[in-house]
Amino acid sequence: MTETIKRYNANSVVPRKSAFWDSYTPFGIGIERMFDQLDSFVKGDAEGYPPHNIIKVDDHRYQVEMAVAGFSRDDLKIEQVGNELSISATKPECSDDIEYIHRGLGKRPFTKHFTLADDVRVLDSALADGILTINLELVVPEHKQPKTIEIH
């Protein structure tokens, strides 16, 4: 295992899941999915465009803020499929005869993926001042809440 970690740190090579995580699986039952999710984090979106923030509002609420200057509501698409939240944008090509001296505003298409925990749900989204805000909530189901067990 140490050799795998050294190789990963030295060469930025993603270790095979079986080589890295197998040593931990004897201690958990039914948690293979968590290891798959951890693998996906390592292999996730490495590109920093567009920049984003993830904010913890309180113990049960989060926000994703994404800088989307130059994109309108019609250009943006937010989709949740299972535990994956995807934010994408495409800007229609315009045939303006504008000669740019410098073009610093990004208009290239993008897709960002975020993996959500099983108990996180998307509440809503808003676009204001070039910032897309997506509100998320952690909903702890009753069977996962603490409970006192009566002793008979």
pLDDT digits (tens, 9 = 90+) for 28-47: 666 666 666 666 655 555 56
Residue 27 CB contacts under 8 Å (≥ 6 apart), including other chains:
none
CB 1 within 8 A of CB 30: no
> Which residues on adjacent β-strands are paired with residue 85?
80, 114
Length of the chain: 152
| Model pLDDT for residues 55-71, shown as the tens digit of each residue | 999 999 999 999 998 89
pLDDT at 127 (0 to 100): 97
Phi, psi of 65 (to 5 degrees): -110, 135
DSSP 8-class letter at 83: T
Residue 5 CB contacts under 8 Å (≥ 6 apart), including other chains:
15, 20
Secondary structure element (H or E) that encloses residue 84, with its range: strand 84-89
The pLDDT of residue 20 is above 70: no
| Model pLDDT for residues 69-88, shown as the tens digit of each residue | 889 999 999 999 998 999 99
